Every structure is written in structure tokens, then in C-alpha cells.
Amino acid sequence: MKRTVLDYALKIRLPLTLFVVAVSVILTFYFSRAERDSVGYNPEQPIKFSHKLHAGQMAIDCQYCHIGVAKDRHAILPSVNICMNCHTVSRKDRPEIIKLTQFYTTGKPIPWKRIHKVPEYAYFNHSVHINKGIDCASCHGDVKQMDLVSQVKPFTMTACLDCHRNSQAQLPYLKTVRNGPENCWACHR
């Protein structure tokens, strides 16, 4: 009698339990894709540049450095020259600024690590969003408070469409805004 109970447990219950566990792991993995999509990604950068200091405390305008954001597809990262507008004089004896100056004098671009990225097969354009009055924080969070930039929102298709389907509700600070496109070829051209 005991033996058959154990047999049952090993031959039927155990595989069944394992199967249920495996399925739920796979399902959770699949459905939590949005949260895993780079949210929280904040790699160490080659130079300890702080947005909190420059864009927050010193209140330097985002577009002073991200010159493409209102007229191009890409926001563009600043060249070393823009940093050197100030750092030929400012804090030039500091180790991080000495590193910065070496990039400048050797003419090598700083290998900043890319944080936000949509795949090649999807089309995103900053200028169309910025020119409708959408602020950076709606998509990037409060960068002015970040010493190290971190992705705070997912950029999955669902995330794009969540705002496109209901833009006014997602952007309450705008007086009027039309919904964004939902047709496939708007974003897959």
C-alpha cells in the first residue's frame, strides 16, 4: 500500500508539479517582457558625467547638448567640443576632466554606452514628438535628478501604442493633442 502511494507521488505527482512550475515560469517570463525591456538599465559611463549637476543644478538646457532633438530623428549626444566650451577652464585639474581633455586633444569620440534603443525595424522620430510639446520626462523620466542616466519606461510596441491610442490622457499637461498613429507602416517603414 505505502509503496503504491510513493509510486504515485514520484511517477504522476512529481512530473505534474514540475510541468506546472515550468509552464508558469515560461508564462511569467513572456508576459513580464515589458518590465524587462531595458527598464532600469544604467551602465557605468566612460566619464562620470552627471545630468543632476549639469541639467539640474546648473540648469543647462537639454538642447544645448542634445542638438538634434527638435529637428531630427535622433537627439544626438554632444561632441567633446561642447563640453570643452566650459572645461578648458572649469575643474580642469580633476581626474575626470583630465580624462575628458585627453579625448579632446586626441580627437577620439567618447565611447558613451547607449541606453535607450528601439530595434532597426521600428521607426521613432524625436522631432515630431518634441514639436507637439511632449516633454522629455514623459518618456525618459526626470533626467534632471539623475547622476547616472537610467531607462525608466519600456519602449516596446505596447508602450508606444498605449500613448498613441490615448494621447490626451497620457499627456494631461498639453491643452490639445491628437492621437499618434496606430497603422503598422507609420512605425515599420
Q: List the one residue out of 143, 166, 144 whose CA is nearest residue 153.
A: 143
CA-based Rg of the chain, rounded to a whole angstrom?
24
Q: 25 or 169, CB closer to ligand HEC? A: 169
Length of the chain: 189
* C-beta neighbour count of 171 within 10 angstroms: 17
Place of cell 537610467: 150
List binders of ligand HEC among 104-163 (CB under 6 A). 112, 114-119, 122-126, 128-130, 132, 134, 136, 138-140, 143-144, 149, 155-157, 160-161, 163
List binders of ligand HEC among 3-42 (CB under 6 A). 37
What are the angstrom distances between the C-alpha of 122 and each of 41, 74, 170?
Answer: 20, 13, 22
Shortest distance, position 131 Cβ to ligand HEC, whole Å: 9
On the CB side of 133, how many CA atoms lie within 13 Å of its CA? Answer: 11
Phi, then psi, of 66 in degrees rounded to 5 = -95, 75
Shortest distance, position 22 Cβ to ligand HEC, whole Å: 23
Q: 24 or 131, CB closer to ligand HEC? A: 131
Shortest distance, position 165 Cβ to ligand HEC, whole Å: 9
Site membership for ligand HEC, residue 64 (CB under 6 A)? yes
Chosen residue from 15, 40, 111, 181 binding ligand HEC by CB under 6 A: 181
Site membership for ligand HEC, residue 103 (CB under 6 A)? no
Site membership for ligand HEC, residue 170 (CB under 6 A)? yes
Distance separating alpha carbons of residues 23 and 10, to the nearest angstrom: 19
Q: 39 or 171, CB closer to ligand HEC? A: 171
Chosen residue from 83, 98, 106, 150 binding ligand HEC by CB under 6 A: 83
Q: 1 or 184, CB closer to ligand HEC? A: 184
* Amino acid identity for residue 135 in this structure: D
By the 8 A CB rule, do 64 and 172 touch? no
